[in-house]
Structure 1
């Protein structure tokens, strides 16, 4: 059941950009920071014949969900066979460079402040991994992104997605309500924060640094959303299909989303400091602090 307040016009902004290296266009930062998904239906990422052969689930290490690449460290993980690593690395490096060009074109305000880039190649069908994982890791359930082991202290999670399916299959998503509405809905049912628990989790290696009050709340919200079967079925939501040959951008810590179908996707992730936003009050950190009346980091 969809909330009538959610429509393509309120949840998305469509941009005509068709080239990664295009000249600077009108910035979409304002709409992005309000939680909209920026849709780029004409922004395809063409693969070479050799790269097309990488679109095979067998390329991924069976122990991993996706292939991951950290371009600044030139660190590649998740490739099943060593002989395929050079081609995968080249593909992900090229998508990273293209993503930087996209940022410069339509999000120039972020060009100098985005950091910690990570690129991934997703080749498994969504329905395959949604059936074989726990409810907490099932991304076909509406959720906002939060890092269980890597607290990010309110920094934004910006993601650029590209559908590279060679057979024309769309990527199917659901998107949900605005973050202020989401926070007001779930905040009353979240467990209280324990600094001692945060210290212990870091001490035994569960987290790479101490989890802040903010990180605790975001993880609690992520889990509460996924665990609520009624919310998944009846909560405010809208179905969106991203055709092959298209790209899209969102703050995945702010926009409730769920992947329902599709296969073969490139995903570029960046982190953004809250204070580097044009309107920091739209950030989940500032929204949660406003609702609770106290700082969370």
Structure 2
């Protein structure tokens, strides 16, 4: 399972001198790109933000929405919140620079989503089994159908006490799909239109989205899969960055505190190897198109 993690010796958010084609092939095959020397530099003044006290207590993460230039989930006076927002925005810009310089082919296709600062500890969170991210899963969201669009994430550990971000990384997506797909029926006729009309979903759910939600839930609900499936436990140390397609790479957050995360979306036709995407894998296994 060690081959699920690809180490890249890069210490600058402007990627130069890397084998872009090889890294894209690994990433799009569901591997995790690990940059052990790629730190996100925080100023001495910004060190004060390494505390869960800045969270408003309503959300587990502090988020930045670049579309409206707004920080969410944080509390503090106006000056502090402005400085906190500037720090999170800088991580956003660093992450975008990393991905677009690593993979120039992605640049014209990327859609930039939320940036998160996660000051709270992973351990001890109380949640339902569906929301328990310490269970291996692939990302899929009940209210946000994505019709096969990829979910690309850039993580960085900024823990000041030297504590690693503990993860488990699971087996190939093809193997997960082979384990569960036979148990997943087709959605009920008219259910996608009804959920959209009732505003349960933000757009009409495709059969692909239906399957991905079922995979997410079945993985999390299966104690044998959680305990006995092929998996790699790894601690990402402070000062390191890691990147994966979280809709494809089974992952679980087991421990740690203080992390940044940037989400980007990429259509299947923006990939180097679209045949490796979950959409194309599931369509081959089903034998028909899953997105109209």
Bin for the TM-score computed over the shorter chain: over 0.9
CA distance in 1, matches of 2:141, 2:219: 15
CA distance in 2, matches of 1:134, 1:271: 27
Which residue of 1 is the match for residue 288 of structure 2?
294
Which residue of 2 is the match for residue 201 of structure 1?
195
After TM superposition, the structure 1 = structure 2 runs for residues 220-259 of structure 1, keeping only pairs within 5 Å, are 220-259=214-253
TM-score by length of 1: 0.94
* Preserved contact between residue 15 and residue 102 of structure 2 (Cα < 8 Å): no
SS in structure 1 of the partner of residue 120 of structure 2: coil
Which residue of 2 is the match for residue 90 of structure 1?
86
- What do the CA deviations read for 1:19-74 (whole angstroms, capped 9, x no partner)? 11343532111110011100000000011122211111121121111011122321
* Preserved contact between residue 49 and residue 84 of structure 2 (Cα < 8 Å): yes
Which residue of 1 is the match for residue 269 of structure 2?
275
CA root-mean-square deviation: 1.2
Which residue of 2 is the match for residue 60 of structure 1?
55
User: Is 1:154 matched with 2:170?
Assistant: no
User: Is 1:117 matched with 2:113?
Assistant: yes
CA distance in 2, matches of 1:53, 1:274: 40
CA distance in 2, matches of 1:209, 1:104: 28
CA distance in 1, matches of 2:30, 2:242: 13
Deviation of 1:148 (Å): 1.4
* Preserved contact between residue 25 and residue 105 of structure 1 (Cα < 8 Å): no
SS in structure 1 of the partner of residue 214 of structure 2: helix
SS in structure 2 of the partner of residue 223 of structure 1: helix
Deviation of 1:175 (Å): 0.7
TM-score by length of 2: 0.95
CA distance in 1, matches of 2:240, 2:259: 10
- What do the CA deviations read for 1:100-144 (whole angstroms, capped 9, x no partner)? 221133222212211132100001111022xx1111000000000
Deviation of 1:195 (Å): 4.0
Number of residue pairs matched by the alignment:
288
Which structure 1 residue ranges, 4+ long, deviate > 6 Å from structure 2? none
- What do the CA deviations read for 1:253-297 (whole angstroms, capped 9, x no partner)? 000000011110000000000011111000000000000001001
